[in-house]
């Protein structure tokens, strides 16, 4: 009853081309934003903010980035972790070289550095497709990770060979470093993630998004319609890496507070890929849902034994969570190969016709 | 429309595209051997021949998907050597495919909008904002696309992902996508293959309407002889990669070589 | 100038001046290449028959080796006093476990996902990887273990060849690995070219639907290829673990076998073997002669670069035919 679009007429194409054409959807988005900007910072515990919401938002952004490439353009990448790393190291380098410039500007700029690197590693997509390309992106993963380890210049020759996030201010407010307050970091992450989601949504709903999807669905037909394949694919690599880069910079500067090369290893890439596939390829909402599930699941699994009062060895829990996450991935794929986003669509469709489904 | 290398305007009845002496082979297998023919502006030109005669290869050469080993294509008076498929599209050549090649994950509307890609000029940065000129452009093209949707009588499937549509409708959407490009030359590769009688009649009507209303020149491959004879102004017949006849439908029908190669064989 | 010299001349001067070292490097590259080839082979078998990009091949190697060692420990603990007997009993049981794994994968993963897009099946093998990691660690523990080399009558020790005024060392286990690998490949080749099942497998590789329509059971074929890959994984695991130990780190090393697939093609068994050898040798040569220039450790990505550079010149891979695209 609540979710009905009957009676909502559109009288011009502006209204019909809107991203959320249905009123209830717009209300839903408004409620979520209200929750994120008001309720969570007011009532959320420190644990919730630090260990759940901040990383969830950052990973959502990374999986939006990967989804633009894999879900929308059909190019499978296993190098997400490395591109996130490029963002993090670039941000560190930039803010070390020019400490006077606002850190937020450097976070965005580090996205551009990641985009440039992404384009370079996207070049093989000119000649190879599908899984061959996926393996080629592993080259990016291993090569970049090697760079992070072997080039001490990247970490300002720190003895620890790791990024140590310096303190940076915006006006009087400490944004990064050990003294930054939890809420400052939360709002910074939230604003960046919301803004970039809005931009991603604009991109995929317009000409660029259609070009990407055309290349994904039928590259030959797309080319015969005047879409230049290489340019389109490289653009996808660039935008995707930009998103991953910013996510990586935020991961280190606004969440971890420090990072070494291992932070951006191949497991990080897989982690984000899981989110995209479980959430739903080619869906921005799916990126959020996937991030929530894949990031949230291990946290729940870790909390579960205590909640149930069953004492368990932490190593055992770790192994169990591998087993369960793996099993759940398979089960999810079997139940709904198109991901959580499709489940959500089906639910909406059911709501629409409820209570008379015939 | 952007005019590539400023070709002169061509009046109806003049040669729009001329293929001269086209040869194409794949690792020793000859697909086309010295094929020459022309397409005049405003006409419906049929390319027929038995299976494997090289018809689709010919279309592929015309829109740059295959590079001919020998021979040239002259389009709108511009002679061209090697050409990428997207350049052919920029020149104003659109096509449909023998096996439907739609963007299956996208809705009908998005498929047609994708056909407008070449005509959309706003930069990436406006698209990021989806405001002002970019949105304006989006709506302008939406209007054009809606005209085509009305023309093809498919408004009810506007929002349906094309992968879920029945075959006949998919073919129609594909025609729509090609029309969205506002081409000067429309290549149709077996637009009626696998259709039932009503669907075929519908499709014929659309093809004639496209030709009449928009003045689009059409080259089509078709196996249904009745359709070919009714629709086309001129017919070129290929067999084993060679041209064996060229002319008006009635004339071709009586050609002995054609009867031997094709019509004589009961299908 | 100096840098150019170091890149383009110096390594070759080194090779010329110490041919024994060059020979040693080549040999080690070949042995490493055999192991890469084996991993790639297990992968190709599955891809050919079911179109599944089996990411779990690397962990299957670890899992097989772990099971073998674990079962051996179990058997000795329950009182099988003869070490050789226990080892071979464990080997036999591990083969049974791999068969069980193949059946489980077919029943629980492949069959419910039939007709899904490739990427979904690919992700499912990711899930499988996680399951196998969790299962392996849960049952056998995460710490590295020693392979039961002696108990399986695998030779130890080395054989020194005096040549070019120096010594080249051939580990016996490496020689054994090369021989066993060749035997296994030959066996598989005969199996797939001469038997009824082999013919059915090639039919399935060409087209699932066509194979179904002539009455070939897809389920049966899938169990067979996953079992065959399991066996290949077991042999790979034994050989690899004999040179170091049984640990989950192997799984990451197994990722380095993936460039072999770019090089050799996803569906070509000879491609996997030749590709494996090229990558193995190229990697060792690169690391030994050019690695120091870059600060070492370039093994982690060199294989990928070799494969990519190769691809620029031959996009269809080593043994692939030129692809003609159709519309």
Q: What is the DSSP string of B152-163?
A: TT-GGGTTSBGG
Q: What is the pLDDT of residue B133?
A: 83
CB contact under 8 A, A218 and B101: yes
Chain C hits for A315, CB-CB cut-off 8 Å, are 142
Q: What is the pLDDT of residue B130?
A: 80
Question: A185 near B112, Cβ under 8 Å?
Answer: no
CB contact under 8 A, A224 and B114: no
User: Nearest-CA distance from A156 to chain B in Å?
Assistant: 35
Reference A341, options A289, A274, A273, A275; nearest CA is: A289
Q: What is the pLDDT of residue C327?
A: 63
Q: What is the pLDDT of residue B177?
A: 94
Question: B158 near B108, Cβ under 8 Å?
Answer: yes
User: Nearest-CA distance from C321 to chain B in Å?
Assistant: 11
CB contact under 8 A, B134 and A16: no
Q: Domains along chain B?
A: 23-92+184-267 (3.40.50.300), 101-182 (no CATH)
User: Nearest-CA distance from B84 to chain C in Å?
Assistant: 15
SS3 for C161?
strand
Q: A13 and chain B: CB distance < 8 Å anywhere? A: yes
Report how far residue A91's alpha carbon sits from residue C29's, in angstroms, rounded to the nearest whole number. Answer: 39
Chain C residue with CA closest to A329: the answer is C127
Report how far residue B176's alpha carbon sits from residue B171's, in angstroms, rounded to the nearest whole number. Answer: 9
Q: C143 and chain A: CB distance < 8 Å anywhere? A: no
What's the gap between Cα A133 and its chain centre?
21
Chain C hits for B26, CB-CB cut-off 8 Å, are 324
CB contact under 8 A, A208 and B85: no
- What number is the average pLDDT over the span A26-51? 89
Q: What's B266's DSSP letter? A: -
Higher pLDDT residue, A25 or B211?
B211
State the average pLDDT for chain A.
88
- What number is the average pLDDT over the span A173-177? 84
Report how far residue A90's alpha carbon sits from residue A115's, in angstroms, rounded to the nearest whole number. Answer: 11
Q: What is the pLDDT of residue A214?
A: 95
Chain C residue with CA closest to A339: the answer is C120
CB contact under 8 A, A337 and C297: no
Q: C307 and chain A: CB distance < 8 Å anywhere? A: yes
Q: What is the pLDDT of residues A153-168, one digit of tens each?
A: 988 888 888 888 888 8
Report how far residue C95's alpha carbon sits from residue C255's, in angstroms, rounded to the nearest whole number. Answer: 24
Q: A152 and chain C: CB distance < 8 Å anywhere? A: no
Q: B134 and chain A: CB distance < 8 Å anywhere? A: yes
Chain A hits for C124, CB-CB cut-off 8 Å, are 329-330, 333-334
Question: C66 near C136, Cβ under 8 Å?
Answer: yes
CB contact under 8 A, B60 and C327: yes
Largest CA distance in chain C: 68
User: Tens place of pLDDT for every residue, chain C, 327 residues?
Assistant: 677 777 777 777 777 777 778 888 888 888 888 888 888 888 888 888 777 888 888 899 999 999 998 888 888 888 777 888 888 888 999 999 999 999 999 899 888 887 778 778 888 998 899 899 888 888 887 777 777 777 777 777 777 777 777 777 778 788 888 888 888 888 888 887 888 888 888 788 777 778 888 888 888 888 988 999 999 999 988 888 887 777 887 777 778 888 888 888 887 888 888 889 988 998 888 888 887 777 777 888 888 888 888 877 776 777 766 666 666
Output the 3-class SS for chain A: CCCCCCCCCCCCHHHHCCCCCCHHHHHHHHHHHHHHHHHHHHHCCHHHHHHHHHHHHHHHHHHHHHHHHHHHCCCCCCCHHHHHHHHHHHHHHHHHHCCCCCHHHHHHHHHHHHHHHHHHHHHHHHCCCHHHHHHHHHHHHHHHHHHHHHCHHHHCCCCCCCEECCCEEECCEEEECCCCCHHHHHHHHHHHHHHHHHHHHHHHHCHHHHHHHHHHHCHHHHHHCCCCHHHHHHHHHHHHHHHHHHHHHHHHHHHHCEECHHHHCHHHHHHHHHHHHHHCCCCHHHHHHHHHHHHHHHHHHHHHHHHHCCCCCHHHHHHHHHHHHHHHHHHHHHHCCCHHHHHHHHHHHHHHHCCCCC
CB contact under 8 A, A17 and B105: no
CB contact under 8 A, B114 and A16: no
Report how far residue A336's alpha carbon sits from residue A343's, in angstroms, rounded to the nearest whole number. Answer: 7
Task: Give kind and range of the element (H or E) at residue C171.
Answer: strand C166-171
Q: C292 and chain A: CB distance < 8 Å anywhere? A: no
Q: A127 and chain C: CB distance < 8 Å anywhere? A: yes
Reference C161, options C23, C34, C280, C16; nearest CA is: C23
Q: What's C50's DSSP letter? A: H
Ramachandran angles phi, psi of B190, nearest 5°: 50, 65
Task: Give kind and range of the element (H or E) at residue B34.
Answer: strand B29-40
Task: Give kind and range of the element (H or E) at residue B78.
Answer: strand B78-80
Domains of chain C, residue spans: 18-307
- What number is the average pLDDT over the span A25-51? 89
Higher pLDDT residue, A350 or B112?
B112
C-alpha dist (Å) from residue B263 to B51, B58, B225, B236 = 12, 21, 9, 14
Domains of chain A, residue spans: 47-265
- Measured from the Cβ of residue A302, the count of other Cβ atoms closer than 10 Å reads 15
Q: B106 and chain A: CB distance < 8 Å anywhere? A: yes
Reference C234, options C71, C64, C90, C93; nearest CA is: C64
Q: What is the pLDDT of residue B5?
A: 41
Question: A272 near A256, Cβ under 8 Å?
Answer: no
For B106, which of A13, A19, A217 is closest by C-beta distance?
Answer: A217
Question: C189 near C183, Cβ under 8 Å?
Answer: no
Q: What is the pLDDT of residues B159-188, one digit of tens each?
A: 899 989 999 899 999 999 999 999 999 999
Reference C303, options C270, C267, C269, C254; nearest CA is: C254
Chain A residue with CA closest to B96: the answer is A221
CB contact under 8 A, A329 and C259: no
Q: A217 and chain B: CB distance < 8 Å anywhere? A: yes
Q: What is the pLDDT of residue B263?
A: 55
- Measured from the Cβ of residue A48, the count of other Cβ atoms closer than 10 Å reads 13
Neighbours of chain B (3+ CB pairs under 8 A): A, C
Reference C256, options C239, C243, C275; nearest CA is: C275
Q: What's B242's DSSP letter? A: E
Mutate: best of B130, B175, B185, partner A, most A CBs <10 A: B130
- Measured from the Cβ of residue B69, the count of other Cβ atoms closer than 10 Å reads 15
pLDDT surpassing 70 at residue B265:
no
Chain B hits for A235, CB-CB cut-off 8 Å, are 124
Report how far residue A212's alpha carbon sits from residue A235's, in angstroms, rounded to the nearest whole number. Answer: 9
pLDDT surpassing 60 at residue B22:
yes
Task: Give kind and range of the element (H or E) at residue B24.
Answer: strand B15-26
CB contact under 8 A, A221 and B130: no
CB contact under 8 A, B130 and A16: no
For B103, which of A218, A223, A228 is closest by C-beta distance?
Answer: A218
Chain B hits for A73, CB-CB cut-off 8 Å, are none
Q: Highest-confidence range of A15-19, A312-316, B99-103, by mean pLDDT?
A: B99-103
CB contact under 8 A, B26 and C324: yes
User: Nearest-CA distance from B196 to chain A in Å?
Assistant: 25
Chain A hits for C134, CB-CB cut-off 8 Å, are 319-326
For B117, which of A205, A207, A282 is closest by C-beta distance?
Answer: A207
For C301, which of A130, A139, A323 is closest by C-beta distance?
Answer: A139
Q: What is the DSSP string of B90-142?
A: HHTEEE--SS----TTSBHHHHHHHHTGGG----HHHHHHT-HHHHHHHHHHH
pLDDT surpassing 80 at residue B52:
yes
| Among A13-17, A202-206, A346-350, the least confident range | A13-17
Q: C66 and chain A: CB distance < 8 Å anywhere? A: no
User: Nearest-CA distance from B160 to chain A in Å?
Assistant: 14
For A135, which of C131, C252, C261 is closest by C-beta distance?
Answer: C261
Q: What is the pLDDT of residues A283-320, one digit of tens each?
A: 999 999 999 998 888 888 888 777 777 777 777 777 88
pLDDT surpassing 60 at residue A108:
yes
Strand partners, B39: B17
Reference B140, options A12, C36, A339; nearest CA is: A12
Chain A hits for C101, CB-CB cut-off 8 Å, are none
- Domain at C18-307: CATH code: 1.10.3470
User: Nearest-CA distance from C168 to chain A in Å?
Assistant: 31
Task: Give kind and range of the element (H or E) at residue C77.
Answer: helix C57-77
Ramachandran angles phi, psi of B69, nearest 5°: -70, -40
Pairs of CB atoms within 8 A across A/C: 134
CB contact under 8 A, B128 and A202: yes
CB contact under 8 A, B106 and A213: yes
Q: What is the pLDDT of residue B3?
A: 39
Q: What is the pLDDT of residues A126-152, one digit of tens each?
A: 878 888 888 889 889 999 999 999 888
Question: C30 near C280, Cβ under 8 Å?
Answer: yes
């Amino acid at each position: 009853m609540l979710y009905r679009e009957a009676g909502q007429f559109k009288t011009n194409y502006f209204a019909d081309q809107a991203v959320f054409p249905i009123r209830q959807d717009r209300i839903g988005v408004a409620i979520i934003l209200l929750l994120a900007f008001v309720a969570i910072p007011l009532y959320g515990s420190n644990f919730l903010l630090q260990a759940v919401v901040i990383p969830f938002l950052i990973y959502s952004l990374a999986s939006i980035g990967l989804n633009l490439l894999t879900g929308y353009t059909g190019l499978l990448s296993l190098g997400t972790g490395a591109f996130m790393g490029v963002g993090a190291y670039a941000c560190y380098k930039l803010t070390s070289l020019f400490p006077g410039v606002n850190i937020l500007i450097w976070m965005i700029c580090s996205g551009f550095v990641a985009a440039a690197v992404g384009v370079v590693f996207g070049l093989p997509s000119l000649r190879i497709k599908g899984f061959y390309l996926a393996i080629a992106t592993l080259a990016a993963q291993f090569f970049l990770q090697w760079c992070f380890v072997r080039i001490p210049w990247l970490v300002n020759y720190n003895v620890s060979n790791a990024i140590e996030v310096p303190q940076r201010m915006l006006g009087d407010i400490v944004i990064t470093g050990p003294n930054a307050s939890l809420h400052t970091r939360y709002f910074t992450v939230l604003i960046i993630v919301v803004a970039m989601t809005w931009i991603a949504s604009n991109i995929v709903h317009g000409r660029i998004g259609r070009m990407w999807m055309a290349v994904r669905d039928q590259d030959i037909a797309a080319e015969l319609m005047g879409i230049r394949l290489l340019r389109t694919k490289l653009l996808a690599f660039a935008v995707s890496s930009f998103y991953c880069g910013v996510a990586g910079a935020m991961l280190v500067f606004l969440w971890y507070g420090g990072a070494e090369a291992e932070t951006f290893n191949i497991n990080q890439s897989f982690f984000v890929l899981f989110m995209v596939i479980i959430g739903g390829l080619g869906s921005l909402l799916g990126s959020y849902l996937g991030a929530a599930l894949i990031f949230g699941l291990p946290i729940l699994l870790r909390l579960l034994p205590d909640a149930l009062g069953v004492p368990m060895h932490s190593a055992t829990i770790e192994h169990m969570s591998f087993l369960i996450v793996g099993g759940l991935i398979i089960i999810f794929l079997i139940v709904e190969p198109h991901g959580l986003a499709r489940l959500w669509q089906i639910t909406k469709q059911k709501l629409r016709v409820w209570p008379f489904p015939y | 429309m952007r005019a590539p290398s400023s070709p002169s305007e061509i009046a109806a009845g003049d040669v729009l595209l001329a293929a001269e002496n086209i040869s194409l082979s794949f690792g020793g297998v000859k697909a086309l051997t010295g094929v020459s023919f022309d397409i005049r502006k405003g006409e419906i030109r049929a390319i027929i021949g038995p299976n494997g005669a090289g018809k689709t290869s010919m279309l592929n050469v015309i829109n740059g998907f295959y590079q001919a080993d020998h021979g040239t294509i002259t389009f709108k008076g511009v002679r061209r050597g090697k050409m990428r498929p997207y350049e052919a599209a920029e020149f104003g050549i659109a096509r449909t495919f023998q096996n439907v090649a739609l963007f299956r994950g996208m809705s009908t509307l998005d498929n047609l909008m994708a056909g407008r890609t070449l005509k959309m000029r706003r930069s990436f940065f406006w698209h990021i904002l989806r405001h002002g000129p970019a949105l304006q452009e989006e709506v302008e093209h939406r209007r054009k696309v809606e005209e085509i949707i009305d023309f093809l009588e498919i408004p009810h499937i506007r929002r349906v992902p094309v992968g879920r549509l029945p075959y006949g409708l998919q073919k129609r959407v594909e025609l729509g996508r090609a029309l969205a490009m506002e081409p000067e030359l429309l290549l149709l590769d077996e637009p009626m293959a696998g259709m039932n009688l009503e669907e075929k009649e519908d499709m014929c009507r659309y093809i004639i309407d496209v030709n009449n209303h928009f003045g689009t020149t059409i080259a089509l491959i078709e196996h249904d002889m009745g359709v070919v004879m009714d629709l086309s102004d001129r017919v070129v017949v290929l067999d084993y990669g060679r041209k064996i006849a060229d002319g008006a439908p009635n004339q071709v029908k009586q050609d002995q070589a054609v009867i031997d190669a094709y019509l004589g064989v009961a299908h | 100038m100096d840098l150019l010299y170091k890149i383009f001349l110096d390594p070759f001067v080194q090779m010329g001046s110490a041919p024994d070292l060059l020979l040693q490097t080549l040999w080690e590259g070949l042995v490493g290449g055999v192991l890469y080839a084996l991993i790639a082979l297990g992968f190709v078998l599955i891809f050919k028959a079911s179109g599944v990009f089996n990411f779990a091949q690397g962990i299957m190697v670890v899992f097989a080796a772990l099971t073998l060692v674990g079962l051996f420990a179990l058997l000795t603990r329950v009182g099988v006093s003869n070490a050789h007997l226990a080892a071979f009993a464990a080997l036999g049981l591990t083969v049974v476990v791999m068969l069980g794994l193949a059946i489980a994968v077919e029943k629980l993963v492949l069959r419910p996902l039939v007709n899904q897009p490739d990427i979904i099946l690919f992700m499912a093998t990711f899930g499988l990887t996680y399951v196998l990691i969790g299962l392996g660690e849960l049952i056998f523990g995460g710490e590295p273990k020693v392979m039961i080399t002696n108990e399986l009558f695998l030779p130890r020790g080395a054989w020194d060849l005096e040549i070019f005024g120096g010594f080249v060392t051939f580990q016996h286990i490496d020689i054994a690995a090369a021989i066993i690998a060749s035997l296994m490949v030959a066996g598989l080749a005969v199996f797939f070219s001469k038997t009824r099942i082999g013919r059915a497998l090639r039919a399935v590789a060409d087209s699932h639907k066509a194979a179904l329509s002539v009455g070939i059971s897809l389920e049966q074929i899938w169990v067979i290829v996953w079992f065959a890959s399991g066996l290949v994984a077991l042999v790979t695991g034994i050989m690899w673990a004999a040179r170091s130990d049984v640990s989950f780190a192997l799984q990451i090393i197994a990722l380095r076998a993936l460039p072999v697939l770019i090089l050799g093609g996803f569906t070509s068994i000879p491609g996997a073997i030749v590709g494996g050898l090229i990558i193995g040798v190229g990697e060792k040569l690169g690391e030994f002669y050019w690695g120091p220039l870059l600060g070492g450790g370039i093994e982690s990505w060199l294989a990928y670069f070799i494969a990519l550079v190769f691809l620029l010149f031959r996009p269809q891979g080593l043994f692939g035919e030129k692809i003609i695209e159709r519309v």
